[in-house]
Structure formats: structure tokens, C-alpha cells
Amino acid sequence: MKRAWASIPSHESPNSAANHSRHQPELDGIRGIAILAVLLSHTILSLGVFPIKHPHTTAGGLLVYVLVPGWGGVDLFFALSGFLITGILLRARTKATYFRSFYARRVLRIFPIYYLTLAVSLLAGILWPTFGVHLPATNLERISFFLYLQNWPIFWQGWLGLTSIWGGVFWSLAVEEQFYLIWPTLVRFCTLRFMLGICIVGFLFGAPLRWWLIEHLTGASLGLVQFPVSRLDGLFIGAGIALYREIRGRIVSLAAAKMALTAGALMILYIAALHREELSTTGVRMGTFGITAFALFGGGLIAASQHHLPRLSRLLTLRPLIFAGKYSYGMYVYHLFVYLGFQTLAHHLWPATEGEISFIPALLYTAATIAVSAAIAMLSFHFVEEPFLRMKRFFPSPSAPTTSE
């Protein structure tokens, strides 16, 4: 749904109630950073555009080590989701239409293009068997996607996780939908301090839980980072920021936001300095406290954005970030299908390279795949999603800090 890009007047305190209910374009910018990070990472990591294990050039190697960790943008999405959704739930928790409004609005936002993509790709797999090999191998696994259960190991082929084109992105949607099956009930009936305690304990136990999963179940595999309870750090830190504001009547301090950003950055720098190979793989450290680091960075950035610092606000409201943030959901849903098309083209154009191309063509390839993903997402938003989003007016929600979605 369209909203004006309003900025908060400088004479208003960042703690004021008015600020909590206005549209905050900075949040769109954070969403834009998250989606661009994920798309850049998937271009390189999933499709092998750059040689990953033995970079042919220094520039190519640097791009691999800088951009591949962009998969952590998913944790930024989780933190933003936890912050926004918990804020909405807190403002509606005494309303008679609390559950009906929340779930109806959620369905109208998430379901249409998700199920459209599943249905169209299933049909395409039937018509073009060469595409069908990229879909889940068994009917049981395919059904799990329609039920948002695809990230449960019972539907996997062993503990390696989801490797189909659906699994590459849709596992994260399952994490959120499962979380929001439970979270609204807790927010409705539990005390705020108890909820904040859940967030703190859940966040602190995230990395140790993943370490246990590595040792006893998944190993350092893709399955580790797709497991239902292994990526809750971001959701908890985002929800915790919203709960803190509700309990204390003020936003998280700028000093705390800086501490979170610094801690997250230092953890990633430690991995980069001493375990560089994990920047391009799913290793023990990136799979445990690396995810915690991304969640901390996301939480710190969200908390800092609430202070409307001039330089940070100018950065987060750059038009490319606002644009990417507005269409981020469609870009996320569609991009691997776009990438598959470009990957097939690359194999035809550079067959001897087995998908690896030189530096400059790779940059052009990356820009083209992101641009096409954005164009499809924009068309989808205006012609498929907006008619459903307009139906949200039948299910009003209390005002809360919002993005353009």
C-alpha cells in the first residue's frame, strides 16, 4: 500500500508517541539493504559466478569474501520483522479483532505471490522437465511448502537441508510463519516483562543451540541455518526492541545501539581475520555466532534508526534503498528463478568456464540479474499484490512504525 515518504520533524523527540505511529522511511532503507545483500550473496554463492574456493583474481576474491556473507541479510529481515510485527501486536493486544486483523493482514501480504509462485513453477516443471529437476524431488517435500513446513527435517533428504530452487529462499518464510503462529498468542496473554525475558533468553541461547545442532544433528551444513529454531536470534532482538520501548516508554539508547553494531561487526571481523574460508561457506563459526552477529547488527541498525540521526537517515533514505525496500518481498520470492534463467544463459555463452566468468562480465551479470528481479517484483507489486493489499482496509491495524509495505 502506498504511503508518503514522510520524515519526522526535528522538533519532535524520538521517544514521542507521534514518532511511533508515523511512516519511517529509514525502515524501508534497512529492508533495502537486507534484500540487496541477499541478492548479491545468492548471485555469487548459489550460481558460482565468481570462483569461490580459489579466486582467479584479487578483485574477484575480495568480492567473494565481502558479498557472500550477505546471506546474513535474512537475519536483518528477521530483526525488522520482529520489531515491526511486535509493535503492531502490542498496540492491538486489547482489541476484540486482535487475532482476526493480524492474521488476515498477514495472509493478504504474504500468501498471494507465494502460492502463485509455487503453482506456476509446478506447472512449468510439468511442461519443461529440464526446469522440473530444480523443484523438490518428492511429492511429500512439495506438499510441505504449501503447508509452510518445508524447514522441518522430516521433509528433508537427510540433514543437508533444502537444496531445491524453492528451498533456497522459502525456508525463511516458513520460519516467520511458524514464529507468528505462536508469538501473537504470547503477546496477547503474557506480561510484557515476561515477553522481554523470552526475547533475551531466546537470543542468548541461539548460538549455543546451533552449536549443539552441529555436534549432534546437522553438522555444518545448510540444514543448520534452515532448521526451525536456529534462526530466531533476529526475530527475538527485533521483538525485544519493541517490547523495551513499550515497557520503558522510550526507545533503546543510542549507546546500546552502537554497542550492538560494534559487537556484531567485531564478531564478523574475527571470522574474517582468523577463519576467512568461512566467509564463503557454511562453517561452524559463521553457522553459530556469525548468525548472532548479523542479528546484533540488524538490531543495532534498527535501534539507531529510531534516533533519526541526520547522516544515518540520509544513508537509509537513499532512493535506491527505498526502492529496493518497497519491492523487497517480490525480489526475494522471484530472484532465484531469475538467476536460474541467467545461469542457463551463462552456461551457453561461456560453456568452457563451467559457469565462472571473468570479473567485468560478472559485474554486469550481477547487475542484470538484480535489475530484472526488481522489475518483475515491481510489476508483481502493482498488478498482483496491490489488489490484495487494498483489502487490508477491512482489517484495520493500530498505527505503528511502518515501512512502505
Q: Residue with C-alpha cell 493486544?
A: 93
pLDDT of residue 237: 98
Beta-bridged to residue 402, according to DSSP, are 23
Describe the crossing of helices 291-305 and 254-274 by its angle, rounded to 10 degrees.
150
- How many C-beta neighbours within 10 Å does residue 314 have? 11
Q: What pTM, to 2 d.p., does this model score?
A: 0.89
Can you list the residues of the chain whose pLDDT is less than 50?
Answer: 1-19, 49, 51-54, 355
Q: Please tell me whether residue 355 adopts helix, strand or coil conformation.
A: coil
Residue 2: the pLDDT is 35
Cell output for 340: 536460474
> Dihedrals φ, ψ of 403, to 5°?
-110, -175
For residue 341, what are the contacts with CB-CB under 8 A and spacing of at least 6?
Answer: none
Taking the C-alpha atoms of residue 48 and residue 43, their distance in angstroms, rounded to an integer, is 7
Q: Is 394 exposed, middle or buried (0-12, 13-18, 19+ CB in 10 A)?
A: exposed
Contacts of 355 (CB under 8 A, 6+ apart): 47, 48, 49, 343, 346, 347
Can you tell me the distance from the alpha carbon of 46 to that of 52, in angstroms, rounded to the nearest whole number? 10
% of the chain beyond a pLDDT of 90: 60
**Spatial separation of the C-alpha atoms in residues 30 and 36, rounded to whole Å:** 10
Cell of 183: 508469538
Taking the C-alpha atoms of residue 371 and residue 346, their distance in angstroms, rounded to an integer, is 16
Average pLDDT, the chain: 85
Task: Enumerate the domain spans of the chain.
Answer: 27-394
Q: Do you know the residue count of the chain?
A: 405
Q: Is 133 exposed, middle or buried (0-12, 13-18, 19+ CB in 10 A)?
A: exposed
Sort residue 354 into left (φ over 0), alpha (ψ -120 to 50) or beta: left
Point out which residues pair with 23 in neighbouring strands: 402
Q: 99, 59, 82: which is closest to 395 by C-alpha?
A: 99
| 101 alpha-carbon distance from chain centroid | 23
Q: Given this model, what pLDDT does residue 17 score?
A: 40
Q: Which grid coordinates belong to 41? A: 550473496
Q: Helix 98-127 vs helix 139-146: angle between axes, to the nearest 10 degrees?
A: 150
Nearest to 42 by CA among 342, 261, 349: 342
Distance (Å, whole) CA 274 – CA 82? 32
Neighbours of 371 (CB within 10 A): 11
End-to-end Cα, the chain, rounded Å: 6
